[in-house]
Amino acid sequence: MENNKLPVHVGVIMDGNGRWAKKRLMPRSVGHKSGMDRMIALAEHAKKSGIKYLTVYVMSTENLARRSADEIEGLFGLIRKYFTVNVKRLFEQGSGIKIIGDISALPQDVVKILTDAENLSPKNPDFTLVFAINYGGRCEIVNAVNKAVEKGEKITVEQFGKLLYTDGVPDPDLIIRTGGEMRLSNFLTYQSAYSELYFTDALFPDFSDAEFDRALASFAARERRFGGAQ
Ligand code: FPP
């Protein structure tokens, strides 16, 4: 694929784990476990494809507030497990991790696991997995506005970008949502201004490397104009 036709940054809204499990008469937790396995494999595939940043929406601010304590605790359990094993493997392969979201609201041991991973992450990696957890686009924007207000000066778009969680990460070129819904659900609200969007009915655990490649092919066939003339 020509380099300019390959997205630098892809965001994925990993929807459909619960429905995937339900179809198999299994608990939602099994769906999340399958989703987590798929996410790790997808990160390796994205890296091999030449993508530089893959942002995965693991939990929104709304999920934390509205989903059952059982489901949320299950997701924390998966993070505890995967961050000790799979994330170390990503580091060994030269990949990095960045966390976005308000992690202060998470259990203390999870906060430690996430911040330790970020601190141990290789500097200037070829590929970064951006982990959006207790992330909400609106909260991110309001936090940034409050920081700007504290400074007491008017700021530019570029300066505003540096106050967001995604400081240092280019805006997503492509956002994929699995699971059939066609909305962004508070994901990268500010950064998605010019993102290309791709929606698929595939439930996230079924979203294969080949399906990811189809999304890349769709992206490559699009003309991005950023407000310019055709
Ligand atoms: C937004 O849909 C989707 C997400 C925030 C991703 C949710 C995914 C999980 C909770 C599973 C975590 C992923 C893995 C791989 C373990 P929404 O349902 O929050 O928003 P909506 O109500 O607008 O559809």
Tell me how many degrees the CA angle 54-58-60 measures, rounded to the nearest 5.
120
Task: Write out pLDDT tens, residues 88-117.
Answer: 888 988 999 999 999 999 999 999 999 999
Ligand 1, atom nearest to 18 Cα: 11
Q: Is the pLDDT of residue 70 over 60?
A: yes
Q: Whose CA is nearest to atom 19 of ligand 1?
A: 63
144 C-alpha vs ligand 1 centroid, how far in Å?
A: 24
Asked whether 175 lines ligand 1 (CB < 6 A), one says: no
Mean pLDDT of 58-83: 94
- Tell me, yes or no, if 70 is annotated catalytic: no
Among the listed residues 63, 134, 173, 186, the single catalytic one is: 63
Q: Is the pLDDT of residue 46 over 80?
A: yes
Task: Write out pLDDT tens, residues 73-82.
Answer: 999 999 999 9
Q: Is the pTM of this model over 0.85?
A: yes
Asked whether 32 lines ligand 1 (CB < 6 A), one says: yes
Chain-wide mean pLDDT for the chain? 95
Residue 138's pLDDT band, with cuts at 50, 70 and 90, is very high
Q: Whose CA is nearest to atom 9 of ligand 1?
A: 58
Task: Write out pLDDT tens, residues 2-27.
Answer: 566 999 999 999 999 999 999 999 99
